[in-house]
Homo-oligomer: A and B are copies of this chain.
């Protein structure tokens, strides 16, 4: 997977760090990016503090092929992502005329019409050079600034913006995975055997995940990588390993019920 492009997610918002809001974007983006061959290599949750946003964006856009941000692009005083991106890139933060016109037309069409006030105009204010990301869920754009893709924090809107963006992203080889599991088999039993399988497939990412169901449970073993044949061969070996200790099964275990 080393030659694939990489992704980093920045979740911007005090509400996630305070526990008020449970993030719902990381898992969606991790999954979709894996499918596109742009594996997520890191995610950070950072507060609504300009210096931290700016420093983190600049660190991460240098380290990863793509940086995705969620949150902080609404109309209120705590929505400072867009302005911070402009500062990170050292460009003016200015009204984006095409976005302003589209928003004005949309607000005017509403019944009753919505006032396009200064707060709402902030959502049409972008770093100079930004490419807007439009979607059907809102008239306010996200935007890309070079390899930094700025999206809303509301999951429904974020997903829609991401799907607007996805066709234009530089892709890698999709990450494929194969999971096997066995009830009443425990990590401490299969650890040594799994290490041996990992050394046979150094390019793959093999993971071991215990699961619990009431007083029972077991272990799920996952092989991931971009070489489908290797993933299948490793999954076969993991299945045989589990079968030494219990009843090996294909796929993820059923959720606790």
Contacts and interface: CB of A to CB of B under 8 A. Distances in A.
Interface of A: 14-23, 26-32, 34, 39-47, 52, 74-79, 114-115, 117-120, 122, 154, 156, 175, 177, 187-188, 190-192, 194-195, 198, 205-210, 212, 222, 224
Given A14-B224, A120-B188, 8 more contacts: A18-B30, A18-B31, A19-B29, A19-B34, A21-B209, A42-B45, A42-B47, A76-B208
A41 B17 contact: yes
A41 B51 CA distance: 13
A192 B117 contact: yes
Question: How many copies of this protein are present in the complex?
Answer: 2
A18 B28 CA distance: 10
B154 A20 contact: no
A191 B41 contact: no
A118 B15 CA distance: 43
B17 A40 contact: yes
A192 B115 CA distance: 13
Given A78-B208, A154-B210, A188 B117 contact: yes
A19 B28 contact: yes
A190 B198 CA distance: 56
A62 to B, nearest CB: 15
A44 B47 contact: no
Nearest to A33: B19
A123 to B, nearest CB: 8
Nearest to A224: B18
Contacts of A209: 15, 20-21
A191 B76 contact: yes
Contacts of A117: 188, 191-192
